Structure 1
Amino acid sequence: MDCFQTSPSSSWIYPTVILCLYGFFSTMRPSEPFLAPYLTGPSKNLTSEEITNEVFPVWTYSYLLLLLPVYKPVIILQGVSFIVTWLMLLFAHGVKAMQVMEFFFGMVTATEVAYYAYIYSVVSPEHYQRVSGYCRSVMLAAYTVASVLAQLLVSLARLPYFYLNAISLASVSLACLCSLFLPMPRKSLFFHAKRSLEVEKSPSREAAVEEAPEWEAPGWAEEKPTSRVPTVSGQLAGGRGRSARADSSAWGVCVRWVRDLRQCYSCRRLLYWSLWWASSTAGYNQVVNYIQVLWDSKAASQDSLVYNGAVEALATFGGAVAALAVGHVNVSWDLLGELALAIFSVVNAASLFLMHQTTSIWVCYAAGYLIFKSSYELVKL
Structure 2
Amino acid sequence: MSGQERGNSPFTVRELGKHDEPRVLDLLGAALSGGPTGERTSEFFRWKHRDNPFGASPGLVAERADGRVMAVRLFLRWEFVFGGEVIRAVRAVDTATHPDVQGRGLFRRLTTDLLERIEADTSLVFNTPNGNSLPGYLKMGWQEVGKVPIALHPIRPLAFARGLKELRASGDPTGTSQSWNSDDPAARCRFPTARQFFSDPRAAVGFDELVAEADAGDAAIGHDKLRTALTGDFLRWRYGEAPGLDYRVVASYKNGELTGVVFGRPRLRGPLVEFTLSQMVVRPGDRDTARKLFSGVAMSGCDHVATHLARGSEAARAARYAGYATPPRTGMLLVARPVHPHPIDVHDLRSWQLSLGDLEVF
Relative to total residues, which structure has the larger strand share, 1 or 2?
Answer: 2
TM-score by length of 1: 0.22
- Which is greater in Rg? 1
Relative to total residues, which structure has the larger helix share, 1 or 2?
Answer: 1
TM-score by length of 2: 0.23
Question: With CA pairs under 8 Å and 6+ residues apart, which has the higher RCO, 1 or 2?
Answer: 1
